[in-house]
Amino acid sequence: MIKAVIFDMDGTMLDTEHVKEEGLKYAGRCLNIEIDNKTFSQIRGTNNTRLKEILCEKFSGLNSEKLLEIREEYVKKYFENHPIEVKKGLLELLTFLKENGYKMAVASSSNLEIIKKYLEKVGVLNYFDTITSGDSVIKRKTRSRNLYKSSETIRYNKRRVFRSGRHDKWYFIYT
């Protein structure tokens, strides 16, 4: 029986992932580097620490702090002028889960401040019992560490976490 659901944020609940990628492309152009699709596939879903490691390996002498600063400014300006789009059916799903007593968590590679800001902006922050951010997982190489940390914070055994589908970012906890 499902007792809890863990959600990823970027690209799953909110349509924000493409804006972050565009911001990174823009930052790369500002610093005279081109980030190709293969590199994007390596950095998608990682926290900033891992992102910097990957990009510094690929581009020697890269000022990764400057790159992220430019990207964050791009993303910030974008969302000052555009709404954050919520994936279709999210509010109905969250309402159903809350009304039926499910525990809910967010496991995202974004930093905690951004997660809370975005979820509050779209009116769904209060649905969640806990949030695990990319900056709260020390050495994150896979989504699993973030996912397992979320399952622990809502007091469910990580061995009981089921992830449906290779690219699907909706997680369920069976007990």
The residue length of the chain stands at: 175
**Cα–Cα nearest to 95, from 104, 83, 82:** 104
Residue 104 and residue 7 in contact, taking contact as beta carbons nearer than 8 Å: yes
Render 34-68 in DSSP notation, one character per residue.
---HHHHHHHTT--HHHHHHHHHHHSTT--HHHHH
Report which of residues 170 and 110 the model is more confident about: 110
pLDDT band (50, 70, 90) for residue 163: very low
Q: What pairs with residue 171 in β-bridges? A: 6, 163
| pLDDT score, position 156 | 53
Exposure b/e, 114-125, CB count within 10 A at least 16 = b: bbbebbeeeebe
Report which of residues 9 and 149 the model is more confident about: 9
129: Cα within 13 Å, side-chain hemisphere: 18
Dist. CA 13–CA 102, nearest whole Å: 17
| pLDDT score, position 142 | 47
Residue with tokens 């496991």: 107
